Amino acid sequence: MEKKWVALLLTSASLGLGAVSSSATTIESSTTDSILGTSESTEVTNSTISQTSDSTSTNQTIETKVQDKESFKEIDLSPEKYGVLLDKSQFYFESIQDLESNQNEKSSELLVNQILKLDKEFESLNNDIYFHFEAPNGISGYINQKNVQRTESNSFATISNAIKVFKNTKLTEELPSELTTQKTFSIQEELVINGITYLSIFKNKTEFIGFINKDDVSVSDNPQGNYQKYDNYINIIKDKQDIYQNFDFVKKNNTSNYLNKTLHAKGIYYHSNGINYLSVFDQNEKWIGYIKQENTVNAVGKQGNYTAYGKYITLTKKNYDLWQNFSWTPKSKTDKYMKQTLIAKGIYHHFNGERYLSVYDNNDRWLGYVNEKGTTLANGPQGSYHSFNKYITIKSKNYDLWNSFGWDKRGHSSNYYGKTYKARGIYYHFNGNKYLSVYDNKGKWLGYLNETGGSITDSPEGSYQKLNKYVSVTTRNYDLWQNFSWNKKSTTSNYHNQTVYAKGVYQHYNGSTYYSLFNNKNQWLGYVNKNGVTLAEGAQGIYHSLWEDVTFSNSNYPVWRDFNWSKKNTTDNVKGKTFKARGVYYHYNGSSYYSIYNKNKWIGYINADAAQNYDMNKLIPNTESLLAVHQIVCQKVLDDSSRPSSIIDKVLSMSTISRNQIKFKNNYFVVSLNGRGLGMDEIKLTPKEIAPAVDYRLLPENQIKGAIPKLNKNKKYVALTFDDGPNPVTTPQLLNILKAKNVKASFFMVGNGVDANPKVAKRVSNEGHQIGSHSYSHPQLTSLSGYQVQNQMRQTDKAIYYATGKLPKTFRPPYGAINNYVSNLVSKPAIMWSIDTRDWESRNPYMINSIVNNNIHNGAIILLHDIHQPSVNSVSEMIDNLRRKGYTFVTIDELYEMQERPLHGYFSQTNSIKY
């Protein structure tokens, strides 16, 4: 403002002030140019008037300011500004006229610490600036900007939580928090009132919002505001939207690449432009970029949000969990619903990168959430095609074969009844049924058949069908098959003329029919082509022409009228007489029945046992059997001798008996010993005693009961064997363990060890364990002469006999070294092994048991050494482990049901060789 001054010099007397010190008083006034009517200013020079006082008056100069009116340039403030008057000593003008004339100044005491709304600005020619203001208490006026406290700001305030936002300058009226929370506003100025800093905030820098306490917000220099922790999982719901590298909005990616995926929004920016931006990461902590929140939706958790899916799926992988929730509480396993077709009503795109389906069965029962990787998407409710490659025997005449899953018919099961076909594929339909894609053996497709219309097997023989008829084996040299992989079990020659029971029949995919045969002990004989047998009318089998003379030597046998066992007479009337047996029936019960005639008169059916005798060539069918009989004879000779020690060398060295030295007399097998110098001419063996060495099936069952141990074919067996003992320290420890565990084992002892520890050997025998020979001094037998081999074995036989009273009937060659030459010299069954624990090498119970656990199988023979402490220490755990696996412990004799034979090597229950 341009100022004009007038200076007046007045005496104190003239002013009525008395004596005063010399001073100058300045009075300032101004007027606007409009009032003066000119833009120029006029200056009046100061004049000084002096008056002298005789005594006390002093000259005083009073300077008085005189001002003309002055003009201002008016500027509207948009948006309005705000300020605070802090000093009550300042003044203001009520009107523009007062401002222009510089008159009527008002005290600002009532404006102190009030927020003033500043809506206009007035600037003078000399650059003085005044604001027009409105105070909260209703006062308005004009005030010099120098007296107004306000700090301009270009910063931004982010309101992340509900705070007080005052919409009036009194700071009494609050805006609803939902209008301001989670938003960023521009700051126009900072205002300090009573020590509290308030911010005036605006939307888009133009629209006034209100006043906030600076301490309640975070302030940033950037329009996006400060980073706010968000920590929510989101799904991208809009595609083709930009993802930004920064807030200069440089593009980084596109939402199309993440559509429906679940991501982690760690932070959020409430941008002052009104848009919220999420700072998003993937499951690998890789930053994706900034995404508009409007392009996303918050997820309920890491699983993301439920999305309707409505597709059929088939569970195709095992061991996937079905989850109860996304806290990973297991509900079930896919194994339970393997290959079933289900409906996935919904899908979750989980943050971990996996997709989880919400799965229901055909009863609308929710099964859980399953990883999509454990499933296969199906083309329809029939589910996915699964390669099947099994065989189906049509068992029903009431099923349609379908051309498609639109249920158009292709054929009918009645046309294929009883036959076996190939099911190349299978569909596990959502309706709960399984449908097979069926082909004949020429490769012709027959259609889709409900699985329940047939019976399925893995093998081309088809499914088992009941037959329950008796057949006679009438043709030699037909194979009896172990299985339909054509592993040979036997031949019909071994059962020629026998009557057996065909329990079932298989109509093979190859077009042939096979019977499943059993003997009268319910022992399975194998599968035979039906052309190798003849169907019989009953259990007697078919009639075989004989025309032989038969003399009956036994009385009290019935003479039967028929095979319904209608008794006609007894053999008392025919004993000692000879009749003509025109025919014979080989009955299923194991007996043979002659059809007896006296000349042309039919007498009846008589059991052939009434004329009992044995063909030794059939009873003892081979050399191995004869050597086994010889072993029994040797033991019997020693048992019957009053001085066994005097003849043991002769017994062990005597030549093998022959078949013609064995006769059946008075229900005994009498063995002639003439000329052998044993102090006895013969020995007698009961059928039960000789049974283990011969074809015991030819002996009367009631006479050999208990002679042949029988294993349960449905159980698993294992034989523990221990070499190189007995040891005076470790073997008793082992026996204690076996006794506590109720386990019987087999010991292959060295003769010198038995001689040194006969009591230990005796205890082994007394406690029910089997003892075999392991040579006398553990040499490699294949490197010895014949004499040396025999000497090793005979010395061991004697040592074991003297200790236990029993000759060992089996042996194990040291180091497993055996050949045909050694086998013939020893003439005992060679018991090898199928699991070598190598306990002598590791001396480590853990490693020993690991080898056993990793190699165990049904019928295994386990090789151990009872002379090593670690080996003994391993046994208790071994027994427990194998029992948990379902194994039963047996001796070698039990494992082979007493049928192990000399000249053979045995590696396991099912693996043997002949030397």
Q: Tens digits of per-residue pLDDT, 162-181?
A: 999 999 999 999 999 999 99
Rounded Cα gap, residues 51 and 607, in angstroms: 183
In this structure, are residues 499 and 586 in contact, taking their beta carbons and an 8 Å threshold? yes
User: In the annotation, is 132 catalytic?
Assistant: no
Distance between CA atoms of 539 and 699, rounded to whole angstroms? 20
Which residue from 67, 63, 65, 66 is spatially nearest to 10, judged by alpha carbons? Answer: 63
Residues in contact with 419: Cβ distance below 8 Å, sequence separation at least 6, in sequence order: 393, 394, 462, 507
How far apart, in whole angstroms, are the C-alpha atoms of residue 539 and residue 542? Answer: 9
Of the residues 271, 865, 868, 904, only one is catalytic, namely 865
- Please tell me the least confidently modeled range out of 363-372, 586-595, 790-799: 586-595
Asked if pLDDT for residue 12 goes beyond 60, the answer is no
Mean pLDDT of 572-588: 87
Given a contact cutoff of 8 angstroms between Cβ atoms, the answer to whether 634 and 678 are in contact is: no
Binned at pLDDT 50, 70 and 90, residue 678 comes out as very high
Per-residue pLDDT, averaged over 524-531, amounts to 96
How high is the pLDDT of residue 69? 55
Q: Output the pLDDT for position 666.
A: 52
Backbone angles phi, psi at 662, to 5 degrees: -115, 125
* Mean pLDDT calculated for residue range 389-410: 95
Q: 769 or 476: which carries more pLDDT confidence?
A: 769
pLDDT attached to residue 487: 94
pLDDT for residue 613: 67
Q: Rounded to 5 degrees, what are φ and ψ at 3?
A: -110, 150
Report the percentage of the chain scoring pLDDT > 90.
80
Q: Is residue 428 within a helix (H) or strand (E), and if so which, with residue range?
A: strand 420-428
Which amino acid is residue 837, in one-letter code?
A: T
Structural contact between residues 497 and 522, judged by C-beta atoms closer than 8 angstroms? no
Distance CA 356, CA 374 (A): 10
- In this prediction, residue 70 carries a pLDDT of 61
Mind listing the pLDDT tens digit for each residue in 847-879? 999 999 999 999 999 999 999 999 999 999 999
- Report the mean per-residue pLDDT for the chain: 90
From the list 228, 232, 67, the residue with the least C-alpha distance to 159 is: 228
Quick check: 49 pLDDT over 80? no
Rounded alpha-carbon distances, angstroms, from residue 129 to 73, 74, 117, 132, 245? 9, 10, 16, 10, 45
The answer for residues whose C-beta is within 8 angstroms of residue 332's C-beta and 6 or more apart is 321, 322, 367, 368
Q: Which whole number is the average pLDDT over 150-156?
A: 95
Using CA atoms of 692, 698, 703, 706 in order, give the dihedral in degrees to the nearest 10: 40
Q: pLDDT of 314-341, one tens digit each?
A: 999 999 999 999 999 999 999 999 989 9
Arithmetic mean of pLDDT, 589-601: 92
Helix, strand, coil % over all residues of the chain, rounded to 5: 20, 40, 40
Mean pLDDT across the stretch 2-13? 33
Q: What is the model's pLDDT at position 609?
A: 79
Q: What is the C-alpha separation between 729 and 69, in angstroms, rounded?
A: 132
Give the global pTM. 0.45
**Three-class SS state of 181:** coil
Given pLDDT bands bounded at 50, 70 and 90, which one contains residue 612? low
488 touches 482 (CB < 8 A): yes
> How far, in Å, CA of 751 to CA of 730, rounded?
17
Task: Identify the pLDDT of residue 645.
Answer: 95
Is the alpha carbon torsion for 529, 535, 541, 545 positive or negative?
A: negative
User: What does DSSP say about strands 183-193 and 488-491: parallel, antiparallel, or unpaired?
Assistant: unpaired
Task: Say if residue 48's pLDDT is above 60.
Answer: no
Contacts of 616 (CB under 8 A, 6+ apart): 659, 660, 662
Nearest to 392 by CA among 410, 412, 416, 409: 416
Contact 757, 731 (CB under 8 A): yes
Over residues 673-678, the mean pLDDT reads 93
Residues near 830 by Cβ (< 8 Å), separated by ≥ 6? 810, 811, 812, 813, 818, 823, 904, 905, 906, 915
Let me know if 479 is a catalytic residue.
no
State the average pLDDT over residues 684-702: 91
In this predicted structure, what is the pLDDT of residue 5? 31
4 or 249, greater pLDDT: 249
Q: What is the DSSP letter of 6?
A: E
Cα dihedral 745/751/752/756 (nearest 10) = 60
Over range 446-459, report the average pLDDT. 94
User: 390, 458 in Cβ contact below 8 A?
Assistant: yes
Catalytic residue of the set 132, 271, 508, 723: 723
Per-residue pLDDT at 571:
85
